[in-house]
Chain A
Amino acid sequence: MSEIFSPVRVAEARPAPVTGEGAGVRGALIVIAITFLALFLVLPLGAVFVQAFAHGVGAYLDAFKEPDALSAIRLTLTVAAIAVPFNLVFGVAASWAIAKFEFPGKAFLITLIDLPFSVSPVVSGLIYVLLFGSRGLFGGWLQEHNIQILFALPGIVLATIFVTFPFVARELIPLMQEQGSSEEEAALTLGASGWHAFRTVTLPNIRWGLLYSVLLCNARAMGEFGAVSVVSGHIRGLTNTMPLHVEILYNEYNFVAAFAVASLLAALALVTLVVKSVLEWRYAGELAAGRKH
């Protein structure tokens, strides 16, 4: 009986998938991609660390003993510590409103959230100069009341918030839309208050997306250069953030110190990247699909 079914050699006869390219093309594409990455991403990143340690660990550590460097680090941390929670609350509120309710002007609000991504950071900074500068819209009033916004912490925080506010909202909106509101409705019918439902149902459902977006938001808040540069005034030891401090050191030919501070920023970027990858790998299903930054 079994002879009737002469074995068909499927494996050998398998047709090549239509989208598959020849081995040569495939190899070439991979080589190009890797070379590109090495040249433009890995090499510069490596160079930062090589330069930072060019004169040994001692010289590297000396860069952080300088009061100006310490104050830059402190300022950067302070700015991030204010801007990130701010955007976290705003982002969750905006996503909640957009994903769960219908209201006039919703499409406009979504567009508005994307604005900082499409505007050059320098312009984002200039907006605040136009508003709060001595010849700006509120400049006179602020001067009369002796309130300092530009060239001080408030201005830097405002510029940072502006630049980084899309991160949380853009991650959460598609995630919340996909999840719908029936779980929240179920919680409400079971007697939960709105806040209780938010805490016990909504928040756990978006936790990984939230953590992911806060990481990205934080990395950008600490690394922002353009907008902050316009509003900071570059006062050493007072309004220089880490990226601005790096620029000043570099312009003074103090390469070791410049790259040492830069290496901190680079390390922050690497840590963000690793945690982000781990989150993506572990909780891919719970992060919004198709809207990765």
Chain B
Amino acid sequence: MLHDLSLDVRAGELLGLLGPSGSGKTTLLRIIAGLDAPDRGRILFGGDDATGLPVQQRAVGFVFQHYALFKHMTVADNIAYGLNARRRAERPARAEIKRRVGDLLDLIRLSGFGDRYPSQLSGGQRQRVALARALAVEPRVLLLDEPFGALDAQVRKDLRRWLREIHDRTGQTTIFVTHDQDEALELSDRVAVLDKGRLEQVGTPDEVQENPVSATVLKFLGDSVEVEAIAEGGRVSVRGRETPVAAPAGLLGPVKLYVRPWQLQLVEPEAAHLAGTVRSSYRSQGRQRIEVEEPGGHILAVEDFDGVRYAAGHPVGLRINGGYVFG
């Protein structure tokens, strides 16, 4: 599942592990937690080698996609579980546990819900309880496995913002797994993109979007169209016309140019790199998406301001204002 990879997580950061399903991101998270064992390699926390440590001693907080709350316990007992599970000598006094549970209930904005059972809560509330339960043991690192995966769109959005707030307030080192690019780009300090068990790129959301290291990363971070191009003299040209895209040094000959929909512009045929006819278009949130069919049948997606509307069959020219090539 996972190939050799090395990932440094900085203290206090919120790191998003992003990848399509089956990319190994959950496996990586479980290996960090100690729930799965790696065939080889090491897990270091700070300077300490945690590879041989059983899950109980790793001091991680793990939040599961489907909450995994203890159904037969109240919300307060769920949150206090980790503290109550400690050996008598290390267990805080009962009053202290109660106080910590109260603080955490305030933090997750569920004060007064302590006596309820998980079945009486909504999905978003359950996931907040799961987070409080994980935070209660003051973990060295908080691990979230698709934490919003089972929630509907609106709750997801609220919880994202709220998780970011909690992180900013507690400074807790956090790794979360997601297959949702928007979620990773919005929440993370840094994003680690995984594909087929390989770590493709690690960087801030801006870095991975502006300088994706591979076509895989580029494709996974959003829509793109592939255009046949030629690299010569440090420039990339399409159909004999130069584009603003610079070719990496040493790259010569036919290359694949990846263009985002918003890097294409509808223009008069004389100034165009590409030409075709409008196939369909739709408007959404002040923008319009136009599908253009090239003579060969190749479909190009263009994103533009919601200005002039074109009927299907209308001939158009497309100018390439930017794009990515990989050596």
Chains A and B bind each other:
yes
User: Using a CB–CB distance below 8 Å, which chain A residues touch chain B?
Assistant: 182-183, 185-193, 196, 200-201, 204-205
Instruction: Find chain B residues with CB under 8 A from A190 CB.
Output: 81-82, 85, 133-134, 136-137
Distance in angstroms between the alpha carbons of A192 and B71 in the assembled complex: 17
| CB nearest to A204 among chain B residues | B72
Does B55 touch A at the CB level, under 8 Å? yes
- Which of A182, A192, A204 is in CB contact (< 8 Å) with B68? A182
B-chain residues with CB within 8 Å of residue A188 when the two chains form the complex: 35, 55-56
By a CB distance below 8 angstroms, the chain A residues around B137 are: 190-191
Docked CA distance A200–B81 (Å): 9
CB contacts (< 8 Å) of A183 on chain B: these are 68-71
> Which residues of A are found within 8 Å of B56, using beta-carbon distances?
188-189, 191-193
Chain B positions 230-254 with a Cβ under 8 Å from a chain A Cβ: none
| B55 and chain A: residue at smallest CB distance | A188
Chain B residues in the interface with A (C-beta under 8 A): 33-35, 55-62, 64, 66, 68-72, 81-82, 85-86, 130, 133-134, 136-137
CA distance A190 to B68 in the complex (A): 12
Q: How many A-B residue pairs have CB under 8 A?
A: 64
Q: Could you tell me if B85 and A182 are in contact, using CB atoms closer than 8 angstroms? A: no
Known: A201-B70, A204-B72. A186 touches B64 (CB 8 A): yes
The answer to whether A205 touches B64, judged by C-beta atoms less than 8 angstroms apart, is: no
From B59, B66, B82, B136, name the one whose CB has the most chain A CB atoms within 10 angstroms: B82
Q: Roughly how many angstroms separate A191 CA and B137 CA in the complex, as a whole number? A: 8
B64 to nearest A CB, angstroms?
5
Per CB-CB distance, the 3 closest pairs between chain A and chain B, nearest first, are A190-B82, A182-B68, A192-B85
Q: A182-B64, A200-B70 are in contact. List 10 more A-B contacts (CB 8 A).
A: A183-B71, A186-B69, A187-B85, A188-B35, A188-B56, A189-B61, A189-B134, A191-B59, A196-B85, A205-B72
C-alpha spacing A193/B86, complex, angstroms: 9
B212: min CB distance to chain A, Å: 34
A183, A186, A188, A201: residue with the most chain B Cβ atoms closer than 10 Å? A186
B71 touches A189 (CB 8 A): no
Q: CB-CB < 8 A to B136: which residues of A?
A: 190
A-chain residues with CB within 8 Å of residue B62 when the two chains form the complex: 185-186, 189
In the complex the two chains form, what is the Cα distance from A184 to B85 in whole Å? 13
Whether the pair B35, A205 counts as a contact (CB closer than 8 A) is: no
- Which residues from A are CB-within-8-Å of B57? 191
Give CA–CA (A53, B34) in the complex, Å: 66
CA distance A188 to B57 in the complex (A): 9
B33: A residues at CB distance < 8 A? 189
